[in-house]
Structure 1
Amino acid sequence: MARTTTVLLVGGSGHWAGRENHAPALLEMKQSGWPVRTAAICDPRDPEKRSLDDDMAPLRDLLRVDSPEWINPDGLTRAELTAALDRAHATNQFSLVIIACNPVHHYDYLLWAISRGISVLCDKPMLVTEGAAHDPAAAERITVDYTELGRALTQARASGPCHLAMPLRRRANDTYRSIAADITEIQRAHGQGITSMQLIKNGGLFRLPEEYLFGDAHGYRSGVGALSFSSYHYIDLLAWYLELAPGEAVALRVTNPYVRRVGEFLRTRQATALAGLINGGSTVSIPDLPPEVLAAEADFVFQIELLGEGSQKAGLVTYTCHSNTYSHRSVGLQEFDRTDRQPFREKGRMSQFTLDINQGSLQHIGVFKNDVVGEDYRIRVQRRRNPIVTEETYTEEVFQNAHAGSSVTPQDVLRAMVRLASGEAAPAQVADRISFYEDQRLSHHLFGSFYELIATHGNSDSRERVIEMAR
């Protein structure tokens, strides 16, 4: 029998941790007989109070069976938080830290855990800094902190196993892995890498103007916006595919031709048209919002030139994000929003994207998704190959219930990390679908470069960033 895995759950009172993923996965392991216990929850929201909400039954059950200690980080200095975590660790001897809080706080928890040799599962993005959308120094720290974390991880591993991973859904998902297999096949058989890739993401998350002050991990009060939220998944997808089929590319030149910030968006008719309809046609006023909220990124475009030896242009990747697109929202402000209890995903958030991939003249892959968040997702994949390389030149496949129906889900990744933290091997079907720290080098360097360009947009320093491809 494996030793008991004792868990510190950071952000455990949140929607993702307490309802959708972490609490259900831990409960399932306990029910199946695996020795795991959530010994502490670190969150400014009282987990007992949060668990009383109708939609938080998994958190309620976890509190009932494990009786975790509540660590409230609100108002604590970094030194005071470190001391509180050390006291809890001395009592409970954590073997796994699961981080699901506001991402601007990830680094402090990551460094604390890794420095003590504790394995970590951290939600995306792994690292982002407060004010990165408008403060160049803060943006630059994203890449610096990633490097520093790597050094701490190397030191920790000198004393024994220490794992750091992220439950990235697309890395584990059957749909995206089938595309990865197609891309890899053409790269290996013909040496043809990706030559163009365009991804357009539509968020559809409509907020009433005052709601930009609400939210926790998906809030704008930390001076970061849409890039820190679901965009990280798509940045990682682009980086993953580029690493599988780099072709001639040895470096990437990143530029940022377009940014629209929250303040700029709120000055448009688009910001109030739906709000007026929801409110029966009445005029919608724009409240005074803090400068860090107004400066956060809402919409943006990045271009990534693929450079071969001697800076020869080998292709182009573009990523476009529109936060405020079609929305099915039809409800106004509800009173309990003011206490951050209602997730904004129930307010019209969409999961819409188009991904277009070309590997020279040999292969084209088109991926299409147009769903309301919370419904069963459908992803349509079209594939074309040159008739010289295949007999079946065109295929089309629709992946029904593409996220929840995948053979490996984020809950499976969490359960695999519990096993790894216990000194056991991860299940074979999950082991190669876990994204570890080392797998995130290109993704995180792109993410950091994007913020550096956003923070300096319009200045002479915003011209470009160059990232070397790993060989």
Structure 2
Amino acid sequence: MARTTTVLLVGGSGHWAGRENHAPALLEMQKSGWPVRTAVICDPRNPEKRAQDEDMAPLRELLWKDSPEWLNPDRLSRRELEALLDRAHAAHRFSLAIIACNPVHHRDYILWAVSRGISVLCDKPLLVAEGAAFESAAAERIIGGYAELDRALTRARATGPCHLAMPLRRRANDVYRSIASDISEIQQAHGQGITSMQLIKNGGLFRHPEEYLFGDAHGYRSGVGALSFSSYHYIDLLSWYLELAPGEATALRVTNPYVRRVGEFLSTRQATALADLVDGRGGVRIPELPPEVLAAEADFVFNLELLGQEGQKAGLVSYACHSNTYSHRSVGLQQFDRANRQPFREKGRMSQFTLDINQGSIQHIGVFKNDVVGEDYRIRVQRRRNPVVADEPYIEEVFDNAHAGSSVTPQDVLRAMVSLASGEAAPTQVADRIAFFEDQRLSHHLFGTFYELIAANAEGVGSAERVVELAR
């Protein structure tokens, strides 16, 4: 029997940790007989109070079974937070830190944990800096933070195993892995890399104007916006596929031709049209919002020109994110928004995207999704191959319940990390689907680069560009 895995759960009072993923996965391990215990929940919100909410049954059960200590990090300096965590670690000897708080705080918790040899499972994005949407110095701390984490991990691993990973659904999901296999097959068989890849992501999350003041991990008061929320998933997806089939490309020239900030969005009719309909009284007011909220990014486009060894253009990758697209929201401002509970399903959030991939003249892959968040997801994949290389040139497949129905889910990844933190091997079917820190170097670099360009735009450097090398 493996030794008991003692867990520090940071942000455990939130929706994703307390209801959707982390608490249910830990409870399932306990029911299967695995010795795992959540010893501490570190969160500004009182988990006992959050657990009384009707939709937080997993958190209630976890509190009842494990009786974790509650640590409140609110208003603590980094030194005070480290001292608080050190006292808890001395009492409980953590094996694994699960981090699900506001991303601007991820760095402090990760560095504290790996510096003490504690393995970490951290939600996306791994790192982001407060004010990165409009201050270049803040944006540059993102890539610097990745280097800092790399050094800390190297030191920790000199004395024993220490794992740092993220529960990235797409890295583990059957649909996206099947696409990865198709892309890799053409690269290996014919030397044909990706020559064009365009991803359009529509968020559909409609906020009433004053709701930009609310929220924690999905709030705007930290001076970052839509790029920090769900975009990391898609940046990582593009990076993953590009690394599988780079073709002639050895570098990426990255530009940011379009960014619309919250303040610019709120100056349009789009910001109030649905609110007027939902509230039924018309004339929705735009409140005074702090400058960091108004400057946070809402919509953006990034172009990545693929450059060959001699600087020749080998193709183009584009990522467009539109936050305020079609929404099925049908309720007005709710009291639980003011309490930072943010139950996203009542906000009309959508999961919509189109991904178009070409590998020269040999293969095309189209991926389509248009769903209400929280319902069963359906992903449609179309693949065409030139008849010279394929007996079956056209294949179309529809994956129903594509997320929950995958053979490996984020809960499986969490359970595998518990195994690793206990000194045991991860289950074979999950081991190669865990997104470890070292597997995402291009993703990290692009995420930080995107923020550097968004900040440069705010500072009036509209023609800024960055060149990112592709590892070989």
Partner SS state of residue 263, structure 2: helix
Q: Tell me which residue corresponds to 2:387.
A: 387
- Bigger drift between 401-410 and 278-287 goes to 278-287
Partner of 2:120: 120
Structure 2 counterpart SS, 1:235: helix
Instruction: Determine the C-alpha separation between the residues in 1 that align with 2:344 and 2:99.
Output: 20
User: Structure 1 370/461 Cα, relative in aligned 2: closer, same or farther at 3 Å?
Assistant: closer
Q: TM-score, normalised by structure 2?
A: 0.99
Paired with 1:248 and 1:423, the residues of 2 have a C-alpha distance of 41
Residue 195, structure 1, aligned to residue 195, structure 2 = yes
Secondary structure, aligned partner of 1:309: coil
Asked if the contact 1:452–1:462 (Cα under 8 Å) also holds between the matched residues in 2, the reply is no
The equivalent residue for 1:146 is 146
Compute the displacement of 1:343 (Å).
2.0
Supply the AA of the counterpart residue of 1:136.
S
- 1:322 is aligned to 322
Give unpaired runs (5+ residues) of structure 1.
none
Residue 335 of structure 1 deviates from its aligned partner by 1.6
Number of aligned positions between the proteins: 471
Q: How does 1:277-288 map to 2 (within 5 A)?
A: 277-288=277-288
Equivalent residue number for residue 354 of structure 1: 354
C-alpha deviation, 1:344, in angstroms? 2.9
2-structure distance, mates of 1:126, 1:273: 35
Corresponding residue of 1:180: 180
Structure 2 matches for 1:288-327, cutoff 5 A?
288-327=288-327
Note the C-alpha offset of 1:281.
4.4
Q: Is the 8 A contact 2:204 2:323 kept in 1?
A: yes
Cα pair 2:9 2:38 within 8 Å, conserved = yes
Counterpart of 1:273 in structure 2 is 273
1:293-322 superposed Cα distances (whole Å, 9 cap, x missing partner): 000000000000011111111110000000
Number of the residue aligned with 2:338: 338
Distance 1:37 1:28 in 2: 12
Distance 1:460 1:275 in 2: 35
Q: Could you tell me which residue of structure 2 aligns to residue 376 of structure 1?
A: 376
**3-state secondary structure, aligned to 2:232:** helix
Between stretches 452-461 and 67-76, larger displacement belongs to: 452-461
1:20-35 correspondence to structure 2 within 5 Å: 20-35=20-35
Q: Which runs of 4+ in 1 moved over 6 A?
A: none
Q: Secondary structure at the match of 1:310?
A: coil
1:346: how far off? Answer: 2.6
Q: Is the 8 A contact 1:454 1:462 kept in 2?
A: no
**Deviation of the 1:278 alpha carbon:** 1.0
Distance in 2 between the 1:350 and 1:201 partners? 10
**CA deviations over 1:390-422 (Å, ceiling 9, x no partner):** 110000000000000000000000000000000
Query: Which residue of structure 2 lines up, in the alignment, with residue 469 of structure 1?
Result: 470
Q: Give the conservation status (yes or no) of the 8 Å contact 1:453–1:462.
A: no
Instruction: Output the aligned Cα RMSD.
Output: 0.8
Q: What does the per-residue CA deviation read over 1:329-361, in whole Å, with 9 as the maximum and x for residues that have no partner?
A: 110011221111232343100000000000000
* Cα pair 2:413 2:434 within 8 Å, conserved: yes
SS at match of 1:175: helix
Alignment correspondent of 1:364: 364
Paired residue type of 1:362: I
Question: Counterpart of 2:72 in structure 1: which amino acid?
Answer: N
8 Å contact 2:132–2:224 — kept in the other structure?
A: yes
Q: Match of 1:30, SS?
A: helix
Q: Map 1:65-144 onto structure 2 (within 5 A).
A: 65-144=65-144
Taking only the aligned residue pairs, the percentage that are identical comes to 83
State the AA in 1 paired with 2:152: A
Q: Which runs of 5+ in 2 are unaligned?
A: none
Separation in structure 1 between the aligned mates of residue 299 and residue 462 of structure 2, nearest angstrom: 20
The equivalences for 1:32-47 within 5 A come to: 32-47=32-47
Cα deviation, 1:145-186, whole Å, max 9, x if unaligned, reads 001100000000000000000000000000000000000000
Q: Give the Cα separation in 2 of the matches to 1:176 and 1:117.
A: 32
Contact persistence 1:205–1:345 (CA under 8 A) = no
More off after superposition, 261-270 vs 305-314: 305-314
Separation in 1, partners of 2:160, 2:462:
42
Q: Separation in 2 of the partners of 1:346 and 1:155? A: 45
TM-score, length of structure 1 as denominator length: 0.99
Match of 1:396 in 2: 396
Output one character per residue of 1:237-290: Cα deviation in whole Å (capped at 9) or x when no partner: 000000010111110110000000000000000001111111214101100000
- Secondary structure of the 2:457 match is coil
- SS of the equivalent of 2:259 reads strand
CA contact (8 A) 2:331 2:346 kept: no
